[in-house]
């Protein structure tokens, strides 16, 4: 064995094995989940205003908030039991089967890599905007896009503890900037700054507009399920995962409502619905350079935190595929010093850079959202099978979500409504995405699965499922 191996190896059954480092607590789980999502408060959510008006956007905000609360509860229960990198992929492998697991991992890798590319693109574009405001028109954003991805990939490569500690700090600053903006509008004196009485004028496109707004309502929360990817690196997964995820969704519900309240009280819906950076624009209306600067900083930090979390999550999902031989085993390597899935991190860098350099933000984000939605639909099947095969009391759960199967039914209903909303706005992208996953499934079944060592992928010491 080579140098340094003894200090990083884990003894198990007489063999020394490399494992991912278990150093994370609930704060890191919170930082991962909220960090990935919070950028959606700074941009993107407001397109729901364009579809359904300000009130339609609020309905979408809370309706989709309910969807994600169900996602957070279901995920917390299953993941606190399946404490393995890959999150929903590992859940699908144990509970449903290899083909579903492969698809779920693919949703995860593509959703997070594309979101990472979009985040880096946002950072590059914001820097170009600053350059234009200081007299340098037409600055190429590409070097700054690459710098964002390179710095974050380097951070992820060097260790998960520092990566998510940094994410905690920058996510907290971004969240606080929203809170500061809220208090700066003096919401306790209605009509002084905020003009909801004049600006809220019903549903401009009726209830069909509200349905169409659902797709963009996802931006408020998209990615909170990413907390599951950290579970194998938690010191106490049964405690850290549910605590970090549930406090994460509560934070996002607060942030989403504050964001809607402030923006819709200052900007007319016709403008808000097409703004590129709605919170920054809201701050500019108040006329305070310090506040505008803070919200600009918040926007950049939120995008960086999101990209950082996405690199972490996409690499864990890809690593899990390699470890189980669903992809070449080479990707399942752990760095002996930093204890990170280093080859998976490296492999995904050029993919993220190439997505980012295309500059096709809309298509990249839509594909990412649809992949996420497919993942949420899977969760409904997953939790039903999980409760049937391993009923309460048959396996040690860190968290038991209440009122089963009501959250599952609510989640499925909301997924169907959101598919319909997506079909209204992006029908061809929806069909292209579905076709892609069907072709990938056929490839996996006939070309890849024969190479999988079927027994060695199930090393979790679980009791046999009911009826096995």
We find the least distance from the C-beta atom of residue 135 to other proteins, in angstroms, to be 8
Q: Which of 75, 77, 119, 232 binds other proteins (CB under 8 A)?
A: 232
| Span 149-168, contacts to other proteins by CB under 8 A | 149-151, 153-154, 157
Q: Distance between CA atoms of 374 and 356, rounded to whole angstroms?
A: 23
Of residues 153 and 302, the one with the C-beta less far from other proteins: 153
| 71 counts as binding other proteins under rule CB under 8 A | no
Beta carbon of residue 359, minimum distance to other proteins (angstroms, whole number)? 17
Is-contact 141 125, C-beta < 8 A?
yes
Judged by CB under 8 A, which of 143, 191, 391, 427 binds other proteins?
Answer: 143
Stretch that binds other proteins, among 29-37, 140-148, 303-311, 378-386 (CB under 8 A): 140-148
Does residue 203 touch other proteins according to CB under 8 A?
A: no
Does residue 238 interact with other proteins by CB under 8 A? no
Of residues 319 and 378, the one with the C-beta less far from other proteins: 319
23 makes contact with other proteins (CB under 8 A): no
Q: How many CB atoms lie within 10 A of CB 204?
A: 17
Token pair 């991962």 in the structure block, residue = 32
Bridge partners for 16 per DSSP: 11
84 sits near other proteins (criterion: CB under 8 A): yes
With CB under 8 A, what is the number of residues at the site for other proteins? Answer: 56
Contact segment (CB under 8 A) with other proteins among 67-75, 78-86, 210-218, 404-412 equals 78-86
Q: Report, in Å, the least distance between residue 125 CB and other proteins.
A: 14
Nearer to other proteins, 147 or 208 (CB): 147
For 253, phi then psi, to 5°, come to -65, -40
Should residue 318 be labelled a site residue for other proteins when binding is judged by CB under 8 A? no
> Is residue 90 part of the contact set for other proteins (CB under 8 A)?
yes
For other proteins, the binding residue among 337, 388, 445, 454 (CB under 8 A) is: 337
Establish if 99 lies at the interface with other proteins (CB under 8 A).
Answer: no
Our CB check for other proteins shows the closer of 36 and 149 to be: 149
Handedness of CA 332, 338, 344, 347 (dihedral sign): negative
Of 35, 278, 298, 332, which lies in the binding site for other proteins, with binding defined by CB under 8 A?
332
- What is the contact mask toward other proteins in residues 338 to 357, using x (rule: CB under 8 A)? ----xx-xx--x--------
Question: Which residues are at the interface with other proteins (CB under 8 A)?
Answer: 1-3, 5, 9-13, 15-20, 22, 83-85, 90, 131, 134, 136, 139-140, 143-144, 146-147, 149-151, 153-154, 157, 232, 320, 323-324, 329-330, 332-337, 342-343, 345-346, 349, 457, 459-461
């Amino acid at each position: 064995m080579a140098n340094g191996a003894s200090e990083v190896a884990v003894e198990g059954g007489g063999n020394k094995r490399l494992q991912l480092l278990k150093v994370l607590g609930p704060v890191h789980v919170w930082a991962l989940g909220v960090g990935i999502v919070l950028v959606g408060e700074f941009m993107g959510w407001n397109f729901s205003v364009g579809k359904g008006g300000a009130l339609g956007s609020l309905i979408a905000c809370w309706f989709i908030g309910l969807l994600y609360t169900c996602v957070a509860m279901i995920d917390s229960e299953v993941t606190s039991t399946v404490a393995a990198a890959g999150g929903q992929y590992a859940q699908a492998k144990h509970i449903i089967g290899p083909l579903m697991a492969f698809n779920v991992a693919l949703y995860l890798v593509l959703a997070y890599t594309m979101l990472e590319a979009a985040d880096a693109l946002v950072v590059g574009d914001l820097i170009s905007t600053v350059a234009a405001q200081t007299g340098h028109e037409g600055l190429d954003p590409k070097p700054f896009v690459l710098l964002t991805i390179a710095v974050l990939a380097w951070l992820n490569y060097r260790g998960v503890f520092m990566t998510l500690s940094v994410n905690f700090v920058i996510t907290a600053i971004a969240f606080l900037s929203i809170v500061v903006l809220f208090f700066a509008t003096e919401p306790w004196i209605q009509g002084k700054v905020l003009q909801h009485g004049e600006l809220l004028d019903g549903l401009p496109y009726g209830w069909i507009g509200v349905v169409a707004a659902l797709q963009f309502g996802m931006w408020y929360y998209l990615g909170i399920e990413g907390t599951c990817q950290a579970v194998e690196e938690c010191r106490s997964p049964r405690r850290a995962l549910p605590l970090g995820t549930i406090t994460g969704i509560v934070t996002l519900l607060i942030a989403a409502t504050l964001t809607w309240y402030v923006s819709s009280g200052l900007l007319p819906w016709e403008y808000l619905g097409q703004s590129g950076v709605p919170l920054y624009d809201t701050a500019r209306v108040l006329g305070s350079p310090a506040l505008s600067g803070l919200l600009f900083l918040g926007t950049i930090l939120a995008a960086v935190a999101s990209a950082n979390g996405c690199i972490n999550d996409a690499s864990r999902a890809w690593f899990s595929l390699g470890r189980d031989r669903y992809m070449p085993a080479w990707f399942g390597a752990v760095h002996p010093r930093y204890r990170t899935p280093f080859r998976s991190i490296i492999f995904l860098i050029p993919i993220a850079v190439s997505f980012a350099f295309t500059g096709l933000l809309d298509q990249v984000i839509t594909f990412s959202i649809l992949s996420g939605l497919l993942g949420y639909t899977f969760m409904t099947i997953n939790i039903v099978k999980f409760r049937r095969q391993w009923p309460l009391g048959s396996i040690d759960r860190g968290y038991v979500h209440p009122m089963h199967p009501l959250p599952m039914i609510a989640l499925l209903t909301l997924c169907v409504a959101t598919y319909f909303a997506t079909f209204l706005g992006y029908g061809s992208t929806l069909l292209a995405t579905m076709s892609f996953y069907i072709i990938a499934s056929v490839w996996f079944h006939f070309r890849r699965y024969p190479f999988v060592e079927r027994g060695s992928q199930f090393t979790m010491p679980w009791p046999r499922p009911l009826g096995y």
